Amino acid sequence: MSYKRWNFIAIFLFGIGLVIGLVAPANLTSMAILEKFSDLLSPFSLITAMFIFIKNASALLLSFVLSPIFCFVPILALTVNGWLLAIVSAKVIQEKSLGYILAGLLPHGIFELPALILGEAAALSFGTMVMLSLFKKEGRKLMPSLFKQNLRYLMLALALLLPAAIIETYITPLLLS
Contact 64, 126 (CB under 8 A): yes
- What is residue 37's predicted lDDT score, i.e. its pLDDT? 62
Point out the residues of the chain with pLDDT beneath 70.
25-40
Model confidence pLDDT, tens digit, residues 46-94: 999 999 999 999 999 999 999 999 999 999 999 999 999 999 899 899 9
- What is residue 78's predicted lDDT score, i.e. its pLDDT? 98
Cα separation values, 56 from 17, 132, 145, Å: 18, 28, 26
Cα angle value 160/163/167 (rounded, 5°): 135
Length of the chain: 177
- What is residue 34's predicted lDDT score, i.e. its pLDDT? 60
Give 3-state DSSP helix, strand, coil % of the chain, rounded to 5: 85, 0, 15
- What is residue 138's predicted lDDT score, i.e. its pLDDT? 78
